[in-house]
Structure 1
Amino acid sequence: MAKATAPSSAPQTPPPAAGPRVGQQRLRGPVFLGLTLLVAAIVLFPIGSLVWTAVTGTPDSLGHIARYVLPYTLSTTVWLMLGVVAGTAVIGILSAWLVMTFRFPGARLFLWLLVLPLAVPSYLSAYAFIEFFSFTGPLQESLRALTGWQSARDYWFPSIRNTGGAVLVMSVVFYPYVFLAVVALLKLQGNRLVEASRALGRGPVATLFRVLLPALRPAIAAGVVLALMETLNDIGAVEYLGVETLTFTIFDTWLSRRDIAGAAQLTMVLLIFVFVLVLTERWARRRRQAQSSSARAAPTRQQLNGVWAVLAVVWCCLPVLLGFGVPLWVLGGYALDRLDLLADPDLHRALLTSLQLALGAAVLTVLAGVIMVYTLRLQAGQRRGLSLIVRLASLGYAIPGTILALGLFVPLAGLDNLLAGWLREGLGLSVGLLITGSGALILLAYLIRFLALAEGNVDGGFRNIPLARDDASRTLGQGALMTLLRVHLPALWPSLSVAALLVFIDALKELSATIFLRPFGLNTLSTFIYDFASRARVEETGVACLIIVLLGVLPVILVTRRIARETR
């Protein structure tokens, strides 16, 4: 999840120190430098693998796909992205503007509630929306009860199994990225901008369009980019909604057509989208950092009364109800109807596997994040090249899980077969597939994908530790490792705990890479739900869905508590 964190918490390189400290040679930490280079190589490995496969492979069906499939899937992907841009921007901007510049009933509470949709994975929202808007769902049943209509022939109701439905689902799930980014910037600069506009005689609406929106462009861009990254990563929702995006086409080419080379070449097209999004995010981050240097002052809130207060409450309620209320209503209803499934041994195995993989991912990513950030701290005089390496290592979150899975599976499956053959022929050991036949490949994908999330939180913790502590440790004869263990880790514990929790929850919900890389017979909660949904039996997964949603609320609470403290 990157989902449950504010966009402003994306990993950032610590500001350069004034220069090398006296005696810093004792704390250079060449081992940490080597480990950082290794982590960066691991992150970039899937991309290099895909480029090699795409260039050297001979696709079986790419001609057919390029002629008949790619134009349609490209246009569908572009329209979906444009719709998500519009939906997340409108909902996120207006909601943030209302709760940050006006006083109305529940305004403070909406700072919390409007982030809740991040707790629901997009594929669960898609399952819930299909049920909610179906002919037998609560919405159409209520409509028929009110009007007296008896059958579908008596009225027309729009279908949600199309690109428009996907835009709706993605928008109400991902708008909190924009909301959080805009709230953060309004907290920093809102008062100065609003007061200057009021002094010129402008009203609230004119202030929004003429003053705030131009100033908020970097924050809006950062939030929208994160929403688009999640949109490109999605596979479960678009498949269930019947929308053939570029990601789904790669999925279909690999698994259904068994054309790995063709799928690798299609990923090159998807990587163009990813590259543009990464550049946009970097630009937005630089602009936001420049703006954040001004004094912190949230805008003075104006009181809304009467119909305007009612409209503000209704507007803020709608995205919360659609993004969190509908999934909780539908999936919670499934869970209550089938409480007997709490004793399902398959569910227990899936939950245990999810917990093991998520815990392993949390430990690995936090450890890698500490290594990278600490290496930057040690190499204070040689930061430019290292900063680039750390930025490259943080790109994993931008890479869709489908690309990660394909880039890891192709070379490591071959290595796995060679290793198994050598052990069998050379030592007479039949060990099976050690890498692809276990959860190791899934853990590696989680490490790459969620490293940026851990690194960002670890970096924030290191920023709060004065460099004087390093100097004091060096004076006492401590090397780099002992300084880390005895000086930094105790102070970093809160940041490490938050980073581990966020990665743990995101790994628990991850579907795109897991569905490709899971060995036969291994299920996580997300793939357990996906398998039942593929057989149109979502109602039997209510308990599993509810577990994921309720666990997803935890990081949302962490984020909103921080926002609430800073906006008082």
Structure 2
Amino acid sequence: MLIARRHPLVLQAAGPFWRCASMAIALGVLAPVLVLAWLALGSGVAHWGPLFAHVLPRAALNTALLLAGVGALVLVIGTGCAWLVTACDFPGRRVLNWALLLPLAMPTYIVAFAYLDLLHPIGPVQGAIRWALGFDSPRQFRLPDLRSMPGAIFVLGFVLYPYVYMTARAMFMTQPAHLMEAARTLGESRGGAFFRVALPLARPALAVGLSLALLETLNDIGASEFLGVNTLTVAVYTTWITRSDLAGAAQIACAMLFVVVALVWLERNGRRHQRFGSAQRMRAMQPRRLHGAAAWLATATASLPVLIGFVAPALYLIWESAKRLRQGGGVSQGLLASLGNTITLAAGVTVAAVAAGLVVAWATRSQGSRPNRARWQARAATLGYALPGTVLAIGLLTPALAFDAALASVLGLQGLPLMGAGIVLVAACAIRFLAMPVGGIEAGLARIPPAIEQASRLLGETSGGTLRRVHLPLLQPAIATGALLVFVDAMKELPATLLLRPANFDTLATWLYAEAARGTYEEGAIAALAIVAAGLLPVVLLARNQLGTPTTLPAVET
């Protein structure tokens, strides 16, 4: 007992290796941003004139309109569906509870790819409508062109609303029932109680989900380009690839960083306003049973986002893939090679990201008396998720080329060894998805009592030995979940892969991008279906965590 009083259970500071490694990872994540600023400012003002005159105004306006439209759509769909499945009981509610997450398995560029064919003037949807109306030609009747700003908002909104749905539903589930009952007792209608009580309490969660959806919108390149919307991300790609103007692309990417900073501020501000009340356990809100037409209307309303965002594109991909196989086309060797490249790339990114995430999380856990230093390293290491893939690619390109040239000179090699081997692409994707393993492993470490670690250190074990022999066995679920999320997101990544891939190196995402550009939908459908099948794995994990509805609450969130 005397020892316990003189030596409280505090965590020992990590050794120099862990501190230096964590700082190196944090600086590595920040390096692309610093290089990007150096490229933009060091290229002179000659580039800025044409950019401000011809490129930035249109691209910035399109980006602002796209973000505003997608933001409004995901808020309406995500919040509405979250409240519907939380506050009401209707036929199919248990299935829709998790089915509303399914669009997360669909990358935006795949949904755009599918709907471009489905809603084509001579496609199946418009053909069926003309048949029902008795028309014979597209000249007699045709829907508005999907290749437009409203089309892009429609596609992105119905794919990205689950970000708001997840956060809003979690908040609605934790709101105690007596708050809504008090509002109803004071004369408020159900709608009034929702808008004046439930919705204001959910604003922090809505801000977090909205910022995530908008960051994904800003990172998108495939859907925007397919649908003819010239956003800042598309402008970066075309300026670099089509015009071979790296300095101009860097300057546009710097303009994108202002949008990223605003979205990150929105997310941080939303979290800052989260407060917790007393720890008294309170009764959760019970769903109200709907009957008759109202029940079936609720089922149809909640089903519509799932049908548009997942079911229709998935059925299209299955149909087109089966048609390709029925016609004897089979799977081409190029597609098989792209599948192998995708798995190799995703495995490399997963290993790098999980290893780096483990280092950062362990250094943060073991900083002891220097929590502020550890906190900035962890935050810096997770900033990559907020950076669009195009921004990361441009920021990494210049130092990678310089290092490649020096390495080739020293080793007497030809070409670019790091770029050619895909190491730069792996580094870019690892930086982008590092937040997932860092967050998961930090959460796993938080569940391990400090007393276990302290006992190991008192028995003479080093910090690394404690991690290897004590914590790693306990962290296996958190590491496995983080690895799965990184692996699937690396399979779907398009912007960074397009810009940093080695020559003659295609992944499923870039293969689909090329097939869509050529208009060969059957071959692209097989690649898209493989990506969607892989994307279902993390959605299953999310659905398992979303299904439980608490009957009592540990705290009141205000």
Q: Given the two structures, how large is their TM-score scaled by the length of structure 1?
A: 0.92
Q: Give structure 2 stretches of 5+ with no counterpart.
A: 552-558
AA matched with 1:86: A
Q: 1:353 aligns with which of 337, 341, 346?
A: 341
User: Are 2:377 and 1:379 aligned?
Assistant: no
> 2: CA distance between counterparts of 1:79 and 1:291?
38
Distance, in Å, in 1 between the alignment partners of 2:442 and 2:463 is 17
For residue 64 of structure 1, report the CA deviation from its aligned partner: 2.1
Q: Is 1:367 aligned to residue 355 of structure 2?
A: yes
Cα offset for 1:363? 1.6
| Number of residues of Structure 1 aligned to a counterpart in Structure 2 | 545
The amino acid across from 1:358 in the alignment is: A
Q: Tell me, what secondary structure is at the counterpart of 2:166? A: helix
**Match of residue 433 from structure 1:** 416
Give the drift of 1:174: 0.4
Deviation at 1:196, TM superposition (A): 2.6
Report whether the alignment pairs 1:316 with 2:317.
Answer: no
* CA distance in structure 2 between the aligned counterparts of 1:130 and 1:294, rounded to whole angstroms: 53
CA contact (8 A) 1:409 1:436 kept: no
Residue 89 (structure 1) shift: 0.1
Q: Distance in 2 between matches of 1:78 and 1:142?
A: 35
Alpha-carbon deviations, 1:167-212, whole Å to 9, x = none? 0011000000000000111121252432332332323211111111
Check whether the contact 1:80–1:163 (CA below 8 A) recurs between aligned residues. Answer: yes
Asked if 2 retains the 8 angstrom alpha-carbon contact of 1:76 and 1:244, the reply is yes
Query: Which one-letter code corresponds to 1:538 in the other structure?
Result: Y
Q: CA deviation at 1:294?
A: 7.3
- Residue in 2 aligned with 1:164? 150
Q: CA deviation at 1:109?
A: 1.2
1:227 corresponds in structure 2 to 213
Tell whether 2:532 aligns with 1:544.
no
CA RMSD in angstroms comes to: 1.9
Matches within 5 A, 1:146-545: 146-288=132-274, 290=276, 295=281, 297-339=283-325, 340=328, 342-424=330-412, 430-545=413-528
**C-alpha deviation, 1:103, in angstroms:** 0.6
Q: Deviation per CA, 1:432-456: give whole Å up to 9, x if none.
A: 3111112101110111100001111
Residue type at the aligned position of 1:78: A
For 2:434, what is the secondary structure of its paired residue?
helix
Q: Is the 8 A contact 1:188 1:292 kept in 2?
A: no
- Given that 1:60 and 1:259 are in contact with CA atoms closer than 8 Å, whether structure 2 keeps it comes out as no
Distance 1:23 1:311, change over 3 A: closer
Contact 1:188 1:294 in 2 (8 A): no
**Corresponding residue of 2:554:** none
Residue type matched to 2:357 in 1?
G
User: Following the alignment from structure 1 to structure 2, what is the Cα–Cα distance between the partners of residues 494 and 344?
Assistant: 37
The ranges of structure 1 where at least 4 consecutive aligned residues each deviate by more than 3 angstroms after the TM superposition are 19-27, 58-62, 288-298, 340-343
TM norm structure 2: 0.94
Q: Which residue of 1 aligns with 2:57?
A: 71
Q: Deviations over 1:462-487 (max 9, x none)?
A: 11110110111012111101100111
Aligned AA (2:396): L
Distance of 2:34 and 2:511 partners within structure 1 = 31
Rounded Cα–Cα distance in structure 2 between residues aligned with 1:186 and 1:293: 18
Q: SS of the residue aligned with 1:435?
A: helix
Deviation at 1:296, TM superposition (A): 6.5
1:6 is aligned to none
Question: Is the alpha carbon distance of 1:40 and 1:102 closer, same or farther for their aligned partners in structure 2, counting shifts above 3 Å?
Answer: same
Q: 1:190 to 1:149 in 2, by over 3 A?
A: farther
Contact 2:385–2:431, Cα closer than 8 Å, also in 1: yes
Contact 1:188 1:296 in 2 (8 A): no
Residue segments in structure 1 that go unaligned for 5+ positions in a row: 1-18, 425-429
Identity over aligned pairs, percent: 40
Q: Indicate the SS of the match to 1:565.
A: coil
Note closer, same or farther for the CA distance 1:96–1:292 as it changes in structure 2 (3 Å cut).
farther
Change in Cα spacing, 1:20 to 1:157, as seen in structure 2 (3 Å) is farther
Q: Distance in 1 between matches of 2:244 and 2:289?
A: 61
How big is each residue's C-alpha offset from its partner over 1:104-139, in whole Å with a ceiling of 9 and x where there is no partner? 011121111100000000000001111111112221
